[in-house]
Structure 1
């Protein structure tokens, strides 16, 4: 301990930064030696936690690094988007210990849609829970904030008439085959884009879903899209290949062979089933966003006014399986979901055919009862 020229006493203590594990020297001051000793003891007791307490901005970056080892890049991109647009503008400047339920409510209050509010709450809660587990804070203020609840929007089912209108508008293009594939299989966009000819077994009439296109919107443009595994482990699955889809895929393969022949190339099993037509990416996979953009244009061309989207194919396929009384576990496996309840709650929608089937079953049951 030494006395400074201004009359105050000065001493120091070495503590460990909770974020970096680096050793840092903290200097303390006091008018008397006893004041300095008390301050030294306080710093030592908390390992400088209060003095080195990270801001929300510092900790969220550390949290993103932690999560990047657990989730896909596309999920990290989604987190970053929500943080940048809704959360960071309000919380970044505050130290973790100073974030209150009132501040969190302010963040949520400024978000326009209920679904986004719920998602942002989940992110804030996860960030602060991680801080709690690492002893950076003593309590997660989200405990005192009611979690927003959003009602999932009922997805529109594609009618047979709409499907035929879309097929006519896409006739003799590779997008016609994409529509047929989505209608029959309910595969995700990312899975369709990653499909190679080696994944289709025309002899056993099976489509092997093994890969998906991953998107990292914060990566450089040349590495933004990459080949990875499906969304979950359950996404790795085999799907039945229907007769009409098989015929159309085989015709599509013949057209691709002719196209490659004109380019002095031979189509191989490693080639993608659906390829980019852009000259700089010729032969490469198409990007999932391109499917969405193309579907919007096709829908407009077909004159369809309903609010169907490309994802409606997934809902339509799984709902049709439920209408046919396919067991829930089989529908779950077909969809590539982790559990059947999620499949039924999110993707299977009540239809007139289901109501009719229930009525027919009950009528048959009652007939048996009255005949006894």
Structure 2
């Protein structure tokens, strides 16, 4: 029986031809055996054998690839019969939780528990396939879920499949060539200048800290968590700046937590006007009087948006409060986050430079701003074209 020993790379393998019999004809198949040294615990030799190759060349190629995989520590001898529910739970707590912010992990965990485990939890991860995942995405679309949410699910599965390969649970990436549905561009809901003024004028009759929250949201474009995190020491009245360093979140298992921005550009300073300074100083005087009545003194470390005592407001209470106040003001219903869009839209509509607006919002790149508010910039472009044409026409008539 022919044999051939080859030493390539870090591993050695043996090729052997084995006689076999079929109903119609006789012939040989080729097999190979890879030597992996000895088991440190038992002292026994470790070998891997693969059989059934039609030619010597085919066996050589397979053996060579396997030695490369072994050397690169990417070889999986036998896929594990582990259930998806057990794997994804380990992935959540071993890989995801230590590497992301608490608020991000909360959303990650919720999506896994509410969507992925009910669908795939009973299956072995080695049985998952790209076709299966793509079919699931179509089911989610038919259910009415957004492309954005499905892309979020897609990102979770991509990270999970990489972990499964790293842990040598599976040989092949079940997310290979799986594509998430393209996100559909949505119209941004905003208020006009008139609607902003109507709302703020009505809110002056509400609690002081609620009014200042809405006022700052509209006038600065800050996110909810950023607004609720601002302390008096973060406002420089002389330089007319608000310094954004952190965001406030509520995590069910931890309570209120502070987190740094996701990108470097999230840490920024926002310019404020004399009018805004006047509103803030007036509000500060009211807070000082409020605290003095109970024997307390306002300090720079107190939160600006605080119901009483300088303590922060739970971000989870804002949504319900905002919907109530919109109804009270009798204007178009939007989300609290849309106040940020409102600020950006108005800034662009009055001719402010998109780069400046991007920096004010804390976007990592001006292209994000231009893409998100393309409906506004298109109108500005049309107006600019008209202005250019009028200017050039006037110039030619004057000559």
* Cα drift, residue 352 of structure 1: 8.9
Matches within 5 A, 1:230-269: 230-269=261-300
* Cα drift, residue 213 of structure 1: 0.7
- Please tell me whether the aligned partners of residues 198 and 269 of structure 1 are also in contact (alpha carbons under 8 angstroms): yes
Match of 1:91 in 2: 120
Per-residue displacement from partner, 1:320-357 (whole Å, max 9, x unpaired)?
33234433332221111211111221246427962434
Q: Distance in 2 between matches of 1:73 and 1:24?
A: 41
Change (3 A) 1:55 1:261: same
* Cα drift, residue 40 of structure 1: 8.0
Match of 1:215 in 2: 250
Given the alignment, which residue of 338, 342, 357 partners 2:368? Answer: 342
Secondary structure of the corresponding residue to residue 376 of structure 2: coil
Report which of the two structures shows the higher radius of gyration computed on alpha carbons: 2
Match of 1:287 in 2: 314
Per-residue displacement from partner, 1:45-84 (whole Å, max 9, x unpaired)?
9988536453322332333232223321111111112112
Matches within 5 A, 1:224-235: 224-235=255-266
- Please tell me whether the aligned partners of residues 249 and 315 of structure 2 are also in contact (alpha carbons under 8 angstroms): no
Matches within 5 A, 1:161-172: 161-172=194-205
Per-residue displacement from partner, 1:248-294 (whole Å, max 9, x unpaired)?
110110010011001110000000001135xxxx5310122222221
Residue 143 (1) aligns with residue 176 (2): yes
Given the alignment, which residue of 84, 87, 100 partners 1:56? Answer: 84
Q: RMSD across aligned C-alpha pairs, in angstroms?
A: 3.3
Secondary structure of the corresponding residue to residue 69 of structure 1: helix
Match of 2:236 in 1: 201
* Cα drift, residue 239 of structure 1: 0.4
- Please tell me whether the aligned partners of residues 190 and 212 of structure 1 are also in contact (alpha carbons under 8 angstroms): yes
- Please tell me whether the aligned partners of residues 319 and 349 of structure 1 are also in contact (alpha carbons under 8 angstroms): no
How many corresponding residue pairs? 334
Given the alignment, which residue of 318, 321, 325 partners 2:344? Answer: 318
Q: Distance in 2 between matches of 1:24 and 1:344?
A: 61
Change (3 A) 1:264 1:133: same
Q: Which is bigger in relative contact order (C-alpha 8 A, separation at least 6)?
A: 1
Unaligned runs of 5+ in 1: 1-14, 17-22, 26-36
- Report the structure, 1 or 2, having the larger strand content: 2
- Please tell me whether the aligned partners of residues 76 and 169 of structure 2 are also in contact (alpha carbons under 8 angstroms): no
Change (3 A) 1:62 1:369: farther
Change (3 A) 1:140 1:261: same
* Cα drift, residue 369 of structure 1: 5.9
* Cα drift, residue 358 of structure 1: 3.9
Match of 2:354 in 1: 328
TM-score, normalised via structure 1 length: 0.79
Unaligned runs of 5+ in 2: 1-37, 51-69
Q: Distance in 2 between matches of 1:369 and 1:232?
A: 49
Change (3 A) 1:42 1:238: same
* Cα drift, residue 180 of structure 1: 1.5
Q: Distance in 2 between matches of 1:171 and 1:137?
A: 61
Range moving further from structure 2, 95-104 or 233-242: 95-104
Change (3 A) 1:137 1:96: same
Q: Distance in 2 between matches of 1:47 and 1:106?
A: 29
Q: Distance in 2 between matches of 1:63 and 1:363?
A: 62
Range moving further from structure 2, 118-127 or 79-88: 118-127
Secondary structure of the corresponding residue to residue 154 of structure 1: coil
Change (3 A) 1:122 1:319: same
* Cα drift, residue 171 of structure 1: 1.0
Change (3 A) 1:316 1:244: same
Residue 104 (1) aligns with residue 128 (2): no
Q: Distance in 2 between matches of 1:360 and 1:213?
A: 44
Q: Distance in 2 between matches of 1:317 and 1:263?
A: 37
